[in-house]
Structure 1
Amino acid sequence: MSANSRLTIAAHAVAWIGLYQQQGHDVATSEQIADSANTNPVVIRRLLGRLREAGLVESRRGVGAGWRLARRLEDMTLLDVYEAVEPSPLFSMHHAPPNQACVVGAGIQPALQEIYDGVEDGLRAQLSRTTLADVLRATLAAR
């Protein structure tokens, strides 16, 4: 099973747009962002669509089409991005109910759900403490 990279690519896109705008540009194309993230522009457009629905970015159509931030990087957290691109919890239960006649099958879901809820709460707390401005600063410092 491979790791999910939606949050990483979405944060990359938002930070890239933020830097691009700081350099005096109005809008960025999905092709430009995809080139930086080394992925397909379709992947970027899908993620940016979710970010747009969450009110984090805006799109412009027609001449001069592209993407821009809807909020300042300082006013956006990684939690905002996470909630926009990750529609479901980090972990989920069985797709089919386990055998309730089995001692493990009967108790596994409640036991794991409590742990999973704690992990999700910790993740959300950590992501809420980091703005996209923080991410961009750390990104530029890492070079």
Structure 2
Amino acid sequence: MGLSSRSAVAIHALTLLARWGEKSLTSAEIADSLASNPVLVRRILGSLRDAGLVWSTEGRHGGWTLARAPREITLHDAYAAVEAGPVLSRHAHPASEACEVGRHMQALLDTEFQDAERAMEERLGRTTIAHLLHQVLERERELASRER
């Protein structure tokens, strides 16, 4: 299947929600930050809700908030909530058994791709939303100090 932009949107939304803490944000407010469509954002937030990462409340003062502390949500949690299937695409059709490369390639690539996917999952599991928020706020401070 391959990696889509859903992970980046999910991580952005989670970091934005962490930034505003207890304040609920609407999907339109989140979509504004992403320069995206609120319908797309609602779909992704729905997946994050199903994974237990966000809560939603309806009504006039409704919106979205984190269901867990930012330090308890990893980038891998966000990835796993919104992505389906392997990151690296496999052969769409069986290769030729008559070819010395073809008869071995699928098994060899499966091993390589699985190792790469495990490494990616491990790396994403080390970074939390709290860590990203800290980096965002630090960059904002640096930007503000340069503008003075």
CA distance in 1 between partners of 2:35 and 2:43 (Å): 15
Offset of residue 4 of structure 1: 2.7
Structure 1 segments, 4+ long, off by >6 Å, are none
Offset of residue 65 of structure 1: 2.2
Given residue 9 of structure 1, which amino acid in structure 2 is its aligned partner? V
CA deviations over 1:36-85 (Å, ceiling 9, x no partner): 11111112111111101100001112232211111010111111111101
Offset of residue 128 of structure 1: 0.8
How do residues 27-106 of structure 1 correspond to structure 2 at under 5 angstroms? Answer: 27-106=24-103
* Equivalent residue pairs, number: 139
2:27–2:42 contact (8 Å) kept in structure 1: yes
The answer for unaligned runs of 5 or more in structure 2 is: 141-148
Given residue 30 of structure 1, which amino acid in structure 2 is its aligned partner? S
CA distance in 1 between partners of 2:97 and 2:55 (Å): 49
Q: Tell me what 1:18 maps to.
A: 18
SS at 1:92 equivalent: coil
The answer for unaligned runs of 5 or more in structure 1 is: none
**Identity rate, percent:** 40
Offset of residue 121 of structure 1: 1.0
Given residue 108 of structure 1, which amino acid in structure 2 is its aligned partner? M
